[in-house]
Amino acid sequence: MAKHDLVGGSLWEQYSSKVTQRVINPSFMGDLTEEDAEKKGGKLIIADWGAEVCGDAVRLYWIVDPDTDIILDARFKTFGCGTAIASSDVMAEMCIGKTVDQVLEITNLDVERELRDEADKPAIPPQKMHCSVMAYDVLKKAASIYKGVDVSRLEEEDIVCQCARVSLKTIKDVIRLNDLKTVEDVIHYTKAGAFCKSCIRPGGHEPRKYYIENILREVRMEMEKEELSQHLEERDFSSMTLIQKHRAVEKVLDEVVRPILILDGGNVEVLDMKEHEGSTEVFLSYLGVCAGCPSGQTFTLKKIEDALQENLDSHIRVNIV
């Protein structure tokens, strides 16, 4: 057990009591043998996984019933910090009694949540989150050995950070769960981007399909849109005064529409609003590159109108002046 994991002032307080107990007295540390598998009437699976970036490694043992694919027993060994021990211990426990396919549905976030004392309080410091990722990866490795396929065939999620093996789903979930607002926060919580840094933004030594910078921006926009929708649901648009409707339209434009237009060098402004035959007509003018864009009267107009209708009222009509 690494001292820096569980000793030292406020750092100690960042670990749940479940983590502490698993580190001090892990229940599933050890190994399983062919003899053990024979006694239980199962097949022995041994999987190794290591994180080169931090030097931690874990070995997972399974005994699997070949007729039902149910994991009858599980053990682990690890060369790693206290968090790696706790994560591997709870991961091994979570395997027992499940089928191999069910185990593939377990994520590193499930491992971390299982270690929490309180549902809304993280079990480990954010900088140790990558240890639960390693426990998640060794599960897939064991499943691939049992199924006789390459582990990449079991990779249902896109991996954003190859160094820390952090998936796109994990990054999105952590941003939402912890209300993260900066790239530095994402790196701190997940370890994604903490090593070679190629996945932070374009321009690194290796091109990537996804970049943390873009993921964060997209998720924040989704969160703001959801928050706006929830807020506006509390007040019926049709019962607002024209001034209140104007403010509501501006808010949707600010939080849903304008961020996208600004990325391309454009913008939009509200010139006027009128009530007409049961509908609210919104008159807009494009700014910047949007003013001369051919899609301004078609695709972009439809997207703006859809955003206002979805977030405010289906009877809104948009006109470009």
Intra-chain end-to-end CA distance of the chain, in Å: 68
198 residue type, one letter: S
Which residue, among 205, 191, 108, 112, has the nearest Cα to 157 in the 3D structure?
Answer: 108
Of residues 54, 81, 161, 163, which has the active-site annotation?
54
d(CA 49, CA 252): 47
Q: How many angstroms separate the Cα of 307 from the Cα of each of 122, 239, 268, 277, 311?
A: 35, 19, 14, 21, 6
d(CA 24, CA 86): 9
Which residue, among 138, 111, 115, has the nearest Cα to 45 in the 3D structure?
Answer: 138
Which residue, among 158, 162, 159, 157, has the nearest Cα to 196 in the 3D structure?
Answer: 162
Tokens of 196: 């070679």
Tokens of 95: 């395997």
268, β-bridge pairs: 286
Active site residue 95: no
Give the H or E element holding residue 170.
helix 168-178
Angle at 109 between CA 111 and CA 201, to 5 degrees: 140
Angle at 311 between CA 309 and CA 313, to 5 degrees: 45
Of residues 131, 163, 199, 290, which has the active-site annotation?
131
Active site residue 290: no
Tokens of 284: 């807009």
Q: What residues act catalytically? A: 54, 131
